[in-house]
Amino acid sequence: MLITKLEHACLVLEEEGARLVIDPGAFTRPVEATDVVAVVVTHEHPDHGTVDQVAGILERNPGIPVFGPAGVAAALDEVVAVDVVTDGEARTVGPFALTFHGTRHQLIHSSVPVVDNTGVFVNGVLFHPGDAYIDPGVPVEVFATPVGAPWLKIGELMDHLASVTPRRAFPIHEATLSDIGFAGHTDRIRQVVEPAGEVVVLAPGESLTA
C-alpha cells in the first residue's frame, strides 16, 4: 500500500490502482485524486473535512461512499449522505478493509464542545486516529501520528505511543506548529518509537510504502 501525506491531516492511500482519501480538510490543497473508491472523514472539524473538498472529490469520483461519524454526516449533508460509522464497525470498499475505532474527540477545553471522532484502521496496516488518543487494540504497522493541536500535550502523546508501540510512525496534523515546534515534537516521538521502531518524516506530497 502506498501512503501519500498531503498537508496537515490528509492522506491518500493507493492499493491495486484504487485510492482512499482520509481527512481532506481546509488546511490541505484541493485533493484532485482520481480512481478514489471512498473517503473517510474522522470528525467534523474543518481542518479534517470540508464541503468543498468532499464535493470536489465526488465530482471526480461520482457515487463513491463517504464514511464518518454522525457529526460528519450532519456537516456534509448538503453534498453527500454519509455512511455513518462508529467504534467497532467495519467496511470493505475495493481493496481497502476498514475498521473504525473510538467515538469522541480529545478534550480541548471544558468550554469547547466535544464532537464525534472515529479513527480508521486500513488493511490492518495503517491507523489514522483523527483527533484523539486511540489505541486500536491490535498491532499497528504504521501510525499517522498527530503532532500539533489545541488538545495535544506532547507528554500525553509520548505515553500514548509507548502504549500503542507502532513499528513505524509519521507525523501529521502539523499545520498549527512552527518549523521549530514541529522538529521538537518529532524528536519527542523518536524518543519513544526508536530504536525499536522507526519514525519517518514526510513532507506534503511525499509517500511511503507499507
| Distance from C-alpha of 186 to C-alpha of 55, rounded to nearest angstrom | 33
**Model pLDDT for residues 95-119, shown as the tens digit of each residue:** 999 999 999 999 999 999 999 999 9
pTM listed for this prediction: 0.97
Taking a C-beta distance cutoff of 8 angstroms, is the pair 73, 41 a contact? no
Tell me the β-bridge partners of 128.
120
| Distance from C-alpha of 4 to C-alpha of 9, rounded to nearest angstrom | 11
pLDDT at 78: 95
| Distance from C-alpha of 45 to C-alpha of 16, rounded to nearest angstrom | 31
**Model pLDDT for residues 40-71, shown as the tens digit of each residue:** 999 999 999 999 999 999 999 999 999 999 99
Q: Any idea what the Cα angle at residue 175 is, between residues 170 and 179, rounded to 5°?
A: 80
Torsion of CA 185, 195, 171, 208, to 10 degrees: 160
Torsion of CA 96, 49, 41, 114, to 10 degrees: 160
**Model pLDDT for residues 148-181, shown as the tens digit of each residue:** 999 999 999 999 999 999 999 999 999 999 999 9
Mean pLDDT across 64-79? 98
137 CB neighbour count, 10 Å cutoff: 9
| Distance from C-alpha of 163 to C-alpha of 207, rounded to nearest angstrom | 26
pLDDT at 112: 97
pLDDT at 149: 97
Torsion of CA 108, 202, 71, 35, to 10 degrees: 180
Chain mean pLDDT for the chain: 98
Q: pLDDT exceeding 70 applies to what percent of the chain? A: 100
Mean pLDDT across 195-205? 96
Is 195 a residue whose pLDDT tops 90? no
